[in-house]
Amino acid sequence: MPTVCQLNPVLAGSALLVGFGLFSLLRSSPGGYGKRAECLLPLATQLPARIAWFLQELPSFVVPAGLLAWQGPLFGPPGTLLLGLFCGHYFHRTFIYAFLTRGRPFPLATFICALIFCTLNGFLQGYYLIYCAEYPDEWFTDVRFTSGGLFTYISGANYFGEIVEWIGYAMATWSFPGLAFAFFSLCFLGKQAYYSHRFYLKKFQDYPKSRKALIPFIF
């Protein structure tokens, strides 16, 4: 395991996340899972929702957690604590949410794309925070760190809450990988929220017309 930061791969990986975000935003259709999954796909090209969510989210927990375990104690430098918070989020996504969801079968192509993304992002966030990030001793009291922590207490719509969470993570880490991940989340989840809003408006005649898609009172 290298112990010296290689910044060029970090920047390249961050740029790739931004590219993924722009691609998902500019696509003509939203992500093909959940209520937007193709119901007529052959069973051989689908996975049960719980298995798909568990397997695709697993690298986002295992990869950075493995780097963190290799590096040393969790409650050490700010970078290791921030990575611990990242792992905590994906522990919930992998071992709790995955087994509670009752979604539709997951298209195999979407699963493979998500698996690749989660593996790349898990390694990128873990590698940067352990080997590249440098924070002053007073970082735990810096406004960029303390204001990021407040985002975990937002109780809004699921997409909005996760976008705000990763914006808070980007602020707390003050890093290119964190910013790139927040940008991807905004593009991908924002589009999912928009199409979900359209779906509800069409499906339910009494759906409140004043309700917005993603940002309260604005959009």
**Structural domain includes residue 218:** no
Q: Could you tell me if residue 55 is inside a domain?
A: yes
Asked if residue 2 is part of any domain, the answer here is no
Q: How far is CA 60 from CA 29, 50, 55, in A?
A: 25, 16, 10
Domain span at residue 196 reads 14-203
Which positions ≥6 away from 144 have C-beta within 8 Å?
Answer: 171, 172, 174
Amino acid at 52: A
Specify if 216 maps to a domain.
Answer: no
pLDDT tens track, the chain, 219 positions: 456 899 999 999 999 999 999 998 888 777 666 665 555 556 568 899 999 999 999 999 999 999 988 876 666 788 988 999 899 999 999 999 999 998 888 889 889 999 999 999 999 999 999 999 999 988 888 888 877 765 444 333 678 888 988 999 999 999 999 999 999 999 998 888 888 778 878 888 887 877 777 777 777
Q: Is residue 164 part of a domain?
A: yes
In a 3-state reduction of DSSP, which class is residue 191?
helix
Phi and psi for 160 in degrees, rounded to 5? Answer: -60, -45
pTM of the full structure: 0.82
Q: Is the dihedral of CA 87, 92, 93, 94 positive or negative?
A: positive
CA distance 2 to 139: 25
How many structural domains comprise the chain?
A: 1
The contacts of residue 27 (CB under 8 Å, 6+ apart) are 191
| Amino acid identity for residue 149 in this structure | G
